[in-house]
């Protein structure tokens, strides 16, 4: 069953169309990513799903409920991450959890949540004294305290150091394993590739592609590149004769062989036959970054 359904969503700010005909459906238990560069319309889309903004046209259903015609039921089903400015500076972590859990009919055990999020030592710490990573973790805890079926998480690893980012990814996977469906807004390729079951790629308000990360990559190109330093000079024709090989180039002491199929096996078999050993072997495949450039015409951070 689709937990989130968005059809033909249009949202304008004045005469600027921020979201222009976006549609997708998120199935139960998915981590579904909205990926796109700054200003693409990701947050606007997420805010429409959360019922914080009214679409100009299109339909949205979250657990079958229209977020704008909601009598309060959705509040118990949907967990949204707080913006940093939403919490008073002097509120302590424990107080915030206690307060927020009181808003819900069947709240989660907030102490357990705080333990999972590694904040137990911070229960008496005021919000303003938390580090960036701790604030992020608290905002995730607050999004989950109502025991939601769906959680919307927007740019939650922005500003975190690499370790904290990885820890957050593990946490999101753990949340999904509890059965929560997750809509994740991100402009980090690595995050999208590592976490998301499927991605809606949005650029300038439009849906450019909707697929699994691997599907997006394979749509664009299934070429691979192998780099290595051969132990002896090698006639390029030996490699270009292989059906798997499309090109062979020299880059300093390295050879760069591009091709498709089981390229690595084909090349290493020929080299072994000619008793050539290789050093510094690297296999490079098309990445989600490459796919994004092919889909939108530019890198995500351009």
Ligand X SMILES: Nc1ncnc2c1ncn2[C@@H]1O[C@H](COP(=O)(O)OP(=O)(O)OP(=O)(O)O)[C@@H](O)[C@H]1O
Q: Does residue 60 interact with ligand X by CB under 6 A?
A: no
Comparing CB distances to ligand X, the nearer of 201 and 263 is 201
CB 153 within 8 Å of CB 172: yes
For residue 42, the minimal CB distance to ligand X (Å) is 3
In whole angstroms, what is the distance from residue 43 CA to residue 28 CA? Answer: 21
Comparing CB distances to ligand X, the nearer of 15 and 177 is 15
Comparing CB distances to ligand X, the nearer of 11 and 137 is 11
For residue 45, the minimal CB distance to ligand X (Å) is 7
For residue 142, the minimal CB distance to ligand X (Å) is 20
Comparing CB distances to ligand X, the nearer of 193 and 203 is 203
For residue 140, the minimal CB distance to ligand X (Å) is 18
For residue 58, the minimal CB distance to ligand X (Å) is 15
Around Cβ 189, how many Cβ atoms within 10 Å?
Answer: 19
Residues 6+ apart with CB under 8 A from 89: 126, 127, 128
For residue 296, the minimal CB distance to ligand X (Å) is 13
DSSP E strand boundaries for the chain: 2-13, 16-27, 31-35, 57-62, 78-80, 150-154, 181-186, 198-203, 206-211, 224-230, 245-251, 254-259, 278-285
Comparing CB distances to ligand X, the nearer of 155 and 197 is 155
For residue 182, the minimal CB distance to ligand X (Å) is 17
CA distances from 128 to 143, 157, 254, 272 (A): 19, 18, 53, 62
Residues 6+ apart with CB under 8 A from 185: 33, 34, 42, 43, 45, 46, 152, 153, 154, 155
Helix axes 213-220, 288-296, angle to 10 degrees: 60
Element (H, E) at 272: helix 263-273
Judged by CB under 6 A, the chain residues 148 through 207 that form the site for ligand X are 187
Comparing CB distances to ligand X, the nearer of 204 and 293 is 204
Phi, psi dihedral angles at 120 (to 5 degrees) = -55, -40
Lay out the site mask for ligand X across 114-143 (x = CB under 6 A, - = otherwise). ------------------------------
Q: Which stretch binds ligand X (CB under 6 A): 42-50, 172-180, 191-199, 239-247?
A: 42-50
Q: Does residue 103 interact with ligand X by CB under 6 A?
A: no
What does R_g of the chain's alpha carbons equal in angstroms? Answer: 24
DSSP alpha helix (H) spans, 72-188: 93-101, 110-116, 132-144, 162-177
Comparing CB distances to ligand X, the nearer of 11 and 198 is 11
Judged by CB under 6 A, the chain residues 270 through 289 that form the site for ligand X are none
Q: Does residue 44 interact with ligand X by CB under 6 A?
A: yes
Judged by CB under 6 A, the chain residues 2 through 41 that form the site for ligand X are 13, 16, 18, 36, 38-41
Which spans of this chain sit near ligand X (rule: CB under 6 A)? 13, 16, 18, 36, 38-44, 187
């Amino acid at each position: 069953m689709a937990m989130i359904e968005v059809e033909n969503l249009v949202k304008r700010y004045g005469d600027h169309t921020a979201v222009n005909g976006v549609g997708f459906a998120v199935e139960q238990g998915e981590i579904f990513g909205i990926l796109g560069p700054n200003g693409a319309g990701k947050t606007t889309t997420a805010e429409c799903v959360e019922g914080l903004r009214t679409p100009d046209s299109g339909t949205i259903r979250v657990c079958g409920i229209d977020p704008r015609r909601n009598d309060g039921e959705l509040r118990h089903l949907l967990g949204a991450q707080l913006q940093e400015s939403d919490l008073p500076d002097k509120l302590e972590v424990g107080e915030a959890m206690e307060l927020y859990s009181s808003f819900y009919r069947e709240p989660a055990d907030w102490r357990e949540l705080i333990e999972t999020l590694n904040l137990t030592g911070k229960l008496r710490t005021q919000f303003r004294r938390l580090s960036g990573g701790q604030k992020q973790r608290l905002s995730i805890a607050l999004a989950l305290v109502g025991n939601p079926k769906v959680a919307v998480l927007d740019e939650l690893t922005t500003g975190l150091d690499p370790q904290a980012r990885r820890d957050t990814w593990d946490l999101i996977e753990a949340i999904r394993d509890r059965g929560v469906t997750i809509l994740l807004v991100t402009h980090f390729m690595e995050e999208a590739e590592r976490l998301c079951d499927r991605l809606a790629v949005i650029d300038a308000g439009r849906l450019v592609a909707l697929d699994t990360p691997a599907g997006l990559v394979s749509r664009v190109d299934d070429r691979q590149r192998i780099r290595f330093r051969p132990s002896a000079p090698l006639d390029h024709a030996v490699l270009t004769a292989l059906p798997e090989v499309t090109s062979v180039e020299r880059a300093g002491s390295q050879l760069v062989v591009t091709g498709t199929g089981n390229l690595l096996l084909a090349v290493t078999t020929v080299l072994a036959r000619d008793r050539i050993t290789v050093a510094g072997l690297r296999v490079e495949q098309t990445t989600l970054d490459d796919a994004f450039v092919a889909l939108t015409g530019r890198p995500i951070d351009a």
